[in-house]
Amino acid sequence: MRSCFLIFFGVFLFSLTSVAQKLELGQVTKAELLEKQHKSDTSAVAAILFNVGKVSYSYSLTSGFELLTEITTKIKIYKKEGYDFANQSLTYYTDDGGDNEKIKIVKADTYNLVNDKVEKVKLNSQGEFIEKINKFWSRIKITMPNVKEGSIIEYKIEIRSPYVRNIPQWDFQKIIPVNFSEFTTSIPEYYIFNVRYKGFLTPSITKEKQFKKINLSSYSQQFIEYSEDKIKYTLQDVPAIKEEAFVNNINNYRASILHELSGENFPKKPYKSYSSDWETVTKRIYESKNFGEELKKAGYFENDLDATLNGTLSQDDRIMLVFNFVKSRMNWNETYGIYCADGVKKAYEDKKGNSAEINLMLTAMLRYAGIDANPILISTRGNGIPLFPSRTSFNNVIAGIELQDKLIILDATNKFSHPDILPIQDLNWFGRIIRKNESSAQIDLMPKTNSNDVINLMATIDLQGEVSGKIREQYFDYNAFLFRNNNNGLSKESAIDKLEKKYAGIEIGEYEVQNATDLSKQIIENYDFKTNNAVEIIGDKMYFSPFLFLAMTENPFKQEVREYPVDFVFPNQDKFNISLKIPDGYTVETLPKSISVAMPDNLGSFKYNISNNGSQVQLVSTVDINQAIIKSEDYEALKNFFKEIVNKQTEKIVLKKG
């Protein structure tokens, strides 16, 4: 028994020693440089051999506590396509008028095998860049030298920050494999953080308590002792996170750890709560001078708005007049924010602002017009799903009008938005409305009704198999919004070219768009077309799909299994009304059968009704996706559903001569 224990202990010590060696920079071996592919992902263009982060606090008499973040990384480059991983960047806070974070490249080297010897090349000053993003943020970039297939790069970065409440998010999972990832926090007892995990992987955790002293005076030895919780989070053999079609934001599913300050508990001071629940979070945001005070500001828009309203009595008319006034006057600077940067008055004067300035201004104007409007905090799709109470969960503001039986949601940052038709980036699960009494409530942001896309096609097939006809396509709701957004400023020639590329093999003649600027109406797109690619002639028979070039020819869902929910953005219906005149002298030999297919729980349906009346073939078909988000548990049903659609839309009609 004792010998077994000694063997186990020896293996354990060897394991610890090998891991410790792995985590040391400068310990690059020939074997590592000669490695041609990753052990578990042979397609990987690069891999992170280790990625280690450490967060700790230091104290000085002049500035109090300071946050130190150290990041140490070792990366192996396998293929030319992996050269991009030799370029690294990090964003840090540099307020022109306030406290700044300081960043330092401690070490950065490239290793190659040259003449059977390990050669090291250090990063020089030409490979290090700092760029100013805006008044608040800067970015440091490093471009590692002498990178080749087989290279190993190493770097260590330190960030010193006065913002002790903001522990950075740590991503265990990257778009390349990670052999070893470790994140350690050493947090004084005075700061209480909520720890949140994202993704499908859970790190192993070790904890220990340690004690420190700080000197409270430079003139005498006045020490105070405090405890510190040191917690280490570790994951090994982390697979690369893979992009999948119809994913909202892949970062929602990346294995990560987040720290959110929930409170401060300093000696001889009352406990200070920050984000224990949503009410606390929203209250603190509302009380900020850059949010609540800006919302209450007056005296900058009233005269202009009075002239616009001009005594309008109808509530619906006043809502639209105010909304359109803000959209027409203001221009979004493409910056999201829950706080005003320059303030609503300055933004109004400049006719330009961030999302908070524009939509807080909208809310204030609606209130002035006698409408019960309130701001809604949301997280954009790019920012992630706001699952937990956190001050950083939200990054955007829109406006909401609460009526007796419904809520109208508005966002004036986009010229083509409409009441309850928001910019796509806003459609991210739920937001939080903040009322005048500072109470808040969760708001569902996801559309509930299907946005329709209706295609009417009338065409004739001639004896040579050429198809010519007309298409009238109507876009409703979100489909209309996307059309306007994607085609804004597009010339007629460019629109035709875009369609001809979308439907390869067609030639478009006359083309027009109706209601391009009247947001209260659906978009109508009309065009003539002809194509020689839709009909195949073999002997005395013709073969073609009644969908012609509109058919879905590939299933967008090819994976065997799906890890992430499928995000269609909004519920949708595609409807096809197709009428085809067959050539003289031909009759229908084979006609596809009409079918109706439904997914479980009314998630979706597909209907295909076809008939032949002498020289005419008539098809009415609809594809309904009734929920914006389809859970991964329903992936198999969804995959089979689309398989049915592809099979049916590509199924051929057979015409026979004589």
479-514 tens-digit pLDDT? 999 999 999 989 999 999 999 999 999 999 999 999
Top-level class of domain 21-190+203-244: mainly beta
Q: Is the pLDDT score of 634 beyond 80? A: yes
Q: What is the pLDDT averaged over residues 638-645?
A: 98
Among the four given CATH numbers 1.10.3720.10, 3.55.50.30, 3.90.76.10, 3.10.620.30, the one describing domain 278-444: 3.10.620.30
Q: How is residue 564 written in tokens?
A: 């992430």
Residue 301 to residues 322, 325, 346, 353, 366: CA-CA distances in angstroms?
Answer: 11, 11, 11, 15, 11
Domains 21-190+203-244 and 451-657 share a fold: no
Residue 438 to residues 234, 283, 441, 442: CA-CA distances in angstroms?
Answer: 41, 6, 10, 13
Q: pLDDT value at position 96?
A: 67
Q: Is the pLDDT score of 300 beyond 70? A: yes
Q: pLDDT value at position 273?
A: 84
- Confidence bin at 22 (pLDDT 50/70/90): low
Query: Which pTM value belongs to this model?
Result: 0.86
Give percent above pLDDT 90 in the chain. 82
Q: pLDDT value at position 15?
A: 43
Cβ partners under 8 Å of residue 572, min gap 6: 450, 451, 452, 453, 478, 479, 624, 625
Q: Is the pLDDT score of 13 beyond 80? A: no
Domain residue spans of the chain: 21-190+203-244, 278-444, 451-657
- Confidence bin at 146 (pLDDT 50/70/90): very high
Q: Is the pLDDT score of 525 beyond 70? A: yes
Q: Cα(176)–Cα(81) distance, rounded to whole angstroms? A: 12
Range name among 18-32, 191-205, 331-345, 531-545 with the lowest pLDDT average: 18-32
Among the four given CATH numbers 3.30.420.40, 2.60.40.420, 3.30.70.260, 2.60.120.1130, the one describing domain 451-657: 2.60.120.1130
Query: Pseudo-torsion of CA 37, 41, 46, 49, nearest 10°?
Result: -90
What is the rounded average pLDDT for all residues in the chain? 93
Q: Is the pLDDT score of 228 beyond 80? A: yes
Q: Is the pLDDT score of 461 beyond 90? A: yes
Q: pLDDT value at position 7?
A: 38
Range name among 48-52, 382-386, 395-399, 540-544 with the lowest pLDDT average: 382-386
What digits encode the pLDDT tens for the residues 572-628? 999 999 999 999 999 999 999 999 999 999 999 999 999 999 899 999 999 999 999
Q: pLDDT value at position 372?
A: 96
Q: Write out the E strands in 462-571.
A: 467-475, 506-514, 523-531, 536-538, 541-544, 566-567
